[in-house]
């Protein structure tokens, strides 16, 4: 079973990927000398599927306190974090205790942010149960909650002590949840490894642990070089500038991965307009999307002004200039300033 190491100078940790990882959670946590109590943070849907089993495994060594939130982006908020923190305070959790996130990106991001701010930092373990979380959001230490003005605007960098990606949990995902994960996998093909796109084109129904591990390896290498996104790590935002804006603009009508896939198409088109890619690249990518079942357009009339205003409040704006990740070629990203007119033209094709 693949093991990927996120080799940071003071906060190195491992990602264990494969079937039946849930049964190894207690052993791997105690191997890291994590003791005390565990807050098992999940949502009701995931907990019904895996909560009882996870709790039973952890209770071999830990006193486990389940805490359940609602399902969906609207629960990824300061209000929800406040309730989690109050629960920790009332139950007198200490700095040596651990928050365990069992769920997808919303659960992981929110649990990580709570772990970062409670007592200025407590132990944090990720058990991602969605494809998107396993290949992306559980890795790298970005934690955040949303604000009505934008996605992930309130957060911190806070690395987990351990990530356990149990691939058996992917069997219970709905098709749309799998597609959301594919949107992030495609991103890694665009920015780092074109072979991923070829693999998906041939074997779209098979998400092997090795493919998940490859995505984690790419992200781990980028995070190792730039943990807090001073420069190089920003390439992981490919497709996210317009993608996040679409999520906010449509009140999360699109899943995260769907929005990122559409945002990636817009970035490809902008790269074509700048002469970096040939027009044929857009056609090839749209065909791949159709094969995978990913959306190639929104089906909406988008207001460029509203989208641009949302983007202007994004974290990627620096010195009042919007920077986006474009492509010199497939697998060769570049970060550069972009103008309003380019955004308008890109929105026309989505």
Q: What is the pLDDT of residues 234-260, one digit of tens each?
A: 999 999 999 999 999 999 899 999 999
Residue 229 has pLDDT above 90, yes or no: no
User: Which domains does the chain show, CATH number per domain?
Assistant: 3-172 (3.40.50.1970), 175-207+224-348 (1.20.1090.10)
Please give the positions annotated as active site. 120, 142, 184, 219, 229, 233, 237, 240, 244, 256
Residue 318 has pLDDT above 60, yes or no: no
Average pLDDT, rounded, for the chain = 93
Q: With helix as H, strand as E and coil as C, how does 113-138 read? A: HHHHHHHHCCEEEEEECCHHHHHHHC
Q: What is the pLDDT of residues 267-304, one digit of tens each?
A: 999 999 999 999 999 999 999 999 999 999 999 999 99
Query: 117: buried, middle or exposed (CB in 10 Å: 19+, 13-18, 0-12)?
Result: middle
What CA–CA distance (Å, rounded) separates 90 from 185?
A: 40
Beta pairing, strands 98-103 & 123-128: parallel
Nearest to 284 by CA among 298, 274, 299, 269: 269
Residue 317 has pLDDT above 80, yes or no: no
Q: Tell me the pTM.
A: 0.92
For residue 22, what pLDDT is reported? 97
> CA–CA distance from 347 to each of 230, 243, 252, 268, 344 (Å)?
28, 11, 18, 12, 5
Whether the CB-CB separation of 327 and 268 falls below 8 Å is answered with yes
Query: What is the enclosing helix (H) or strand (E) of 84?
Result: helix 78-90
Q: What is the pLDDT of residues 1-30, one digit of tens each?
A: 899 999 998 889 999 999 999 999 999 999
């Amino acid at each position: 079973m693949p093991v990927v190491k996120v080799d940071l100078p003071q906060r190195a940790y491992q990602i264990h990927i494969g079937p039946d990882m849930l049964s190894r959670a207690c052993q791997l946590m105690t191997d890291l000398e994590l003791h005390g109590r565990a807050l098992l943070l999940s949502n009701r849907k995931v907990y019904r599927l895996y909560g009882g089993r996870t709790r039973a495994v952890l209770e071999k060594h830990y006193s486990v306190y389940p805490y359940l939130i609602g399902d969906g982006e609207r629960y990824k908020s300061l209000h929800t974090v406040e309730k989690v923190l109050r629960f920790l305070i009332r139950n007198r959790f200490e700095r040596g205790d651990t928050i365990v996130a069992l769920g997808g990106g919303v659960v992981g991001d929110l649990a990580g942010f709570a772990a970062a701010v409670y007592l200025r930092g407590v132990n944090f373990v990720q058990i991602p149960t969605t494809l998107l979380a396993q290949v992306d959001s559980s890795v790298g230490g970005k934690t955040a909650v949303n604000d009505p003005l934008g996605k992930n605007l309130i957060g911190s960098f806070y690395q987990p002590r351990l990530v356990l990606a149990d691939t058996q949990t992917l069997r219970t995902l709905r098709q749309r949840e799998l597609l959301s994960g594919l949107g992030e996998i495609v991103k890694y093909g665009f920015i780092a490894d074109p072979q991923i796109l070829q693999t998906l084109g041939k074997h779209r129904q098979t998400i092997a642990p090795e493919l998940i591990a490859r995505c984690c390896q790419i992200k781990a290498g980028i995070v190792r070089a730039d943990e807090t996104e001073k420069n190089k790590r920003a390439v992981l935002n490919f497709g996210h500038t317009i993608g996040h804006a679409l999520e906010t603009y449509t009140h999360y009508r699109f899943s995260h991965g769907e929005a990122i896939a559409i945002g990636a198409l817009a970035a490809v088109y902008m790269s074509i307009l700048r002469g970096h890619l040939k027009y044929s690249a857009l056609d090839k990518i749209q065909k791949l999307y159709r094969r995978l079942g990913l959306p190639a357009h929104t089906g909406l009339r988008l207001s460029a002004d509203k989208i641009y205003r949302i983007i202007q409040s994004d974290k990627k704006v620096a010195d009042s200039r919007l920077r986006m990740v474009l492509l010199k070629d497939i697998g060769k990203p570049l970060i550069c300033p972009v103008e309003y007119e380019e955004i308008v033209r890109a929105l026309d094709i989505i």
